[in-house]
Amino acid sequence: MKERIKRIFEHVEGDIDGIIILNSTKPHVDLTFYYVTGLINGEFEGSGAIMYPDFSGEIFTSPLEEESALKSSMPVTVLKKRNERDDLFKERLKGMKRVGVNSTELTYHAYMKIREATDAEIVDISDAIIESRNLKDREELDRLRKACWIASRVAEDMIDFIEPGMKEYELAAEISYRMRKLGGHGDAFDVIASSGPNSAEPHYTAGGRVIEKGDFVVMDFGSLYKRYHSDITRTYVVGEATQKQKKIYETVLKAHDAAMAMIKPGTTGAEVHNRAADIINDTEFRGMFTHGLGHSLGLSVHDGSGLSPNVDVDLAPGMVYTVEPGIYIPGYGGVRIEDDIVVTEKGCEVLTDATRELVEL
């Protein structure tokens, strides 16, 4: 974990004497805690980590999480009473002039606990953390590949499962169940299973609509594996596709493949997005691609960066993103095709390998 801590310090602007990651209660638990400690199990509410310029670090936690914490290579301090944490802060931060915090994940209450413990300048290093986490190391990529393999297999399994008369929530439940059976540790996010006109909502929640012949069925889901997330979307047609459905699907697939072909070191995320958007906007479906092309993946399903005109990022080896163009027609339906990729020295490696061809069920 020393290399991860080193990476964060190297991305911080100016000198800094220490970095503190402080968790509150869920959902306000900073995933950077797991990044720097290498831990997989445990909730670690109220726990945290302190890191130093020599790239060492230590964990502080409660007796509840002691056994889990001891699996880290970092030294562990077990705090049995609440005020012990305050004393620990005062001792460890003594003499420091600048202390870094991850403001995007820090509650106001937690910030005040740090503020009360030191006279040091408290600086926001959230950008440095995003940059560091955006470049995945070998262990992270291994976990992501496994999460993507699980999601890909389930996406293909659904070809033989979906049928008219099934409810959307039944499909969502089956997806979750099968990911668990293949070794997933949970859903990366709430499964999206939409059909017919509901498929025009990019972030639809699976409901009670009955899937009918002639529907688009959009499935957007991912597996969690050792705290790392995959994210795949496949769109199938129940029965024989109409000419309009084929044209929508072919347009999205063309945009998807063109964007994938552009991904390589030095290309910007905005350029990749614009390539896909231009293809869609040159058709009768102009303006119906309504979101960014993709987002970074890792400990979070939206890991801080993206393929979007609104995010300033130059692609580099080790970055992992989704590529997910879509066309959404209100009242009719939509198509999205999403894959996960890692940028390589010469292009990209596709981590999700379920078929992308139009599937008629």
Minimal CA–CA distance to 174: which of 191, 189, 188?
191
Work out the average pLDDT over 85-99: 93
Residue 343: pLDDT above 80? Answer: yes
**Choices 2.130.10.30, 3.40.350.10, 3.30.465.10, 3.40.50.300: CATH for 2-134:** 3.40.350.10
Same fold, 2-134 and 138-360: no
Map out the domains of the chain as residue ranges.
2-134, 138-360
Residue 299: pLDDT above 90? Answer: yes
Cut 0.75: pTM above it? yes
In a 13 Å sphere around the CA of 301, the CA atoms on its Cβ side amount to 17
Residue 69: pLDDT above 80? Answer: yes
Q: Residue 272: which H helix or E strand, with range?
A: helix 269-281
Burial 302-341 (b: 16+ CB within 10 A, else e): ebbbbbbeebebebeebbbbbbbbbbbbeeebbbbbbbbb
- Band of the pLDDT at 135, cuts 50, 70, 90? very high
Q: Which CATH number is 138-360 given?
A: 3.90.230.10
Work out the average pLDDT over 329-335: 97
Per-residue pLDDT reduced to its tens digit, 97-125: 999 999 999 999 999 999 999 999 999 99
- Band of the pLDDT at 1, cuts 50, 70, 90? confident
- Mean pLDDT, all residues of the chain: 95
Work out the average pLDDT over 93-100: 94
For residue 260 the two structure tokens come to: 């994938």
| CB contact set of 13 (below 8 Å; sequence gap of 6+) | 128
Find tokens 């994940």 and name the residue.
105
Per-residue pLDDT reduced to its tens digit, 148-184: 999 999 999 999 999 999 999 999 999 999 999 999 9
Q: 148 and 340 in contact (C-beta within 8 Å)? A: yes
- The H-assigned helical ranges of 59-214 are 66-69, 82-92, 108-117, 126-134, 138-157, 168-181
